[in-house]
C-alpha cells in the first residue's frame, strides 16, 4: 500500500471558521466558542516545554483513499492576520493544496479572497510551476448569505476567473460539505 503526505493550507480572514472547518473534518467536532488561532503547542511535537506563538496550528487527518493508498493530510490553520506578516512564505512552503475560507454572512471577508489568492500564488507553486490547487469555501452556510455569497452563478464564474479549482458552501456547525470539499481538493 502506498502512503502519501500532503500539506494543505487553510487560509482566510479572521473569524471565518477556518479552525471549525478543520476540527469538524479531523475530529468530527464543532464548538460555538470562538478562539482566534494564535499559537501552536510545540511541546507535543518536539518535546519542548514552551508555548511558541507563531500564528499557525495544524492537524493531521489520515484517509484510506482506496485499496492501494493511504493519504496523510497535514491541515495548516493559518491565523487570519498572517497574510500581512513575514512568516507566510515559511508556512506555505511545500504545500500542495489550499482552502481559502470566507464567511457567507460577512461580505467584507469575501472582498479579501482575491488578496489571499494572490498572496498564495506568489508564495507557493507546484514543482511544474503551476499554482497549487485551491478550493474556495463559502463557510458558515447555515447563516443567512449576504452579498455575493448568495449568488451561486457569480461564485462559479469568480472561481473560473481566479483559478480556483472549485468552491463549496460549507458549514462545520451542521457538517455540510466538509468531507466533500476536502475529498475534492485531495483529488486534484
Q: Say which range, 43-57, 101-115, 164-178, has the weakest mean pLDDT.
A: 43-57
Name the band, by pLDDT with cuts 50, 70 and 90, for residue 51.
very low
**CA angle centred on 99, ends 68 and 164, rounded to 5°:** 95
73 phi and psi, to 5 degrees? Answer: -100, 125
DSSP state of 14: T
Q: Which residue has the higher pLDDT, 47 or 59?
A: 59
Name the band, by pLDDT with cuts 50, 70 and 90, for residue 57.
confident
Check pLDDT > 50 for residue 131: yes
| Beta strand residue intervals within the chain, DSSP E | 2-12, 40-41, 51-52, 56-66, 69-78, 97-103, 134-139, 166-169
State the Cα–Cα distance between residues 178 and 174, nearest whole angstrom: 9
CA-based max dimension of the chain: 50
| Total of domains in the chain | 1
Q: Say which range, 2-11, 77-86, 138-147, 168-177, has the weakest mean pLDDT.
A: 77-86
Q: Say which range, 19-28, 29-38, 46-55, 122-131, has the weakest mean pLDDT.
A: 46-55
Name the band, by pLDDT with cuts 50, 70 and 90, for residue 48.
very low
Check pLDDT > 70 for residue 159: yes
Task: Return the CATH number at 72.
Answer: 3.40.50.300
State the cell numbers at 160: 473560473
Q: Among positive and negative, which fits the CA dihedral 113, 162, 20, 71?
A: negative
Instruction: Compute the average pLDDT of residues 73-99.
Output: 83
Among the listed residues 157, 148, 138, the one whose alpha carbon sits nearest the alpha carbon of residue 107: 148
Domain that holds residue 9: 2-32+41-187
Question: What does each C-alpha distance from 175 to 24, 61, 169 come to in angstroms?
Answer: 7, 16, 11
Amino acid at each position: 500500500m502506498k502512503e502519501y503526505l500532503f500539506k494543505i493550507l487553510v487560509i482566510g480572514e479572521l473569524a471565518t471558521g477556518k479552525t471549525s472547518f478543520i476540527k469538524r473534518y479531523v475530529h468530527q467536532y464543532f464548538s460555538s466558542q470562538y478562539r482566534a488561532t494564535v499559537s501552536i503547542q510545540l511541546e507535543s511535537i518536539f518535546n519542548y516545554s514552551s508555548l511558541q506563538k507563531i500564528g499557525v496550528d495544524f492537524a493531521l487527518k489520515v484517509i484510506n483513499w482506496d485499496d492501494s493508498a493511504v493519504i496523510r493530510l497535514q491541515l495548516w490553520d493559518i491565523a487570519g492576520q498572517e497574510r500581512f506578516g513575514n512568516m507566510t512564505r515559511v508556512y506555505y512552503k511545500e504545500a500542495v493544496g489550499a482552502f481559502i475560507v470566507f464567511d457567507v454572512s460577512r461580505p467584507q471577508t469575501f472582498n479579501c479572497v482575491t488578496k489571499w489568492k494572490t498572496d498564495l500564488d506568489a508564495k507557493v507553486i507546484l514543482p511544474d510551476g503551476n499554482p497549487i490547487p485551491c478550493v474556495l469555501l463559502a463557510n458558515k452556510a447555515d447563516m443567512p448569505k449576504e452579498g455575493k455569497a448568495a449568488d451561486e452563478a457569480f461564485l462559479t464564474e469568480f472561481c473560473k476567473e481566479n483559478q480556483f479549482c472549485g468552491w463549496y458552501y460549507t458549514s462545520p456547525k451542521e457538517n455540510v460539505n466538509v468531507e466533500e470539499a476536502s475529498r475534492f481538493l485531495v483529488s486534484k
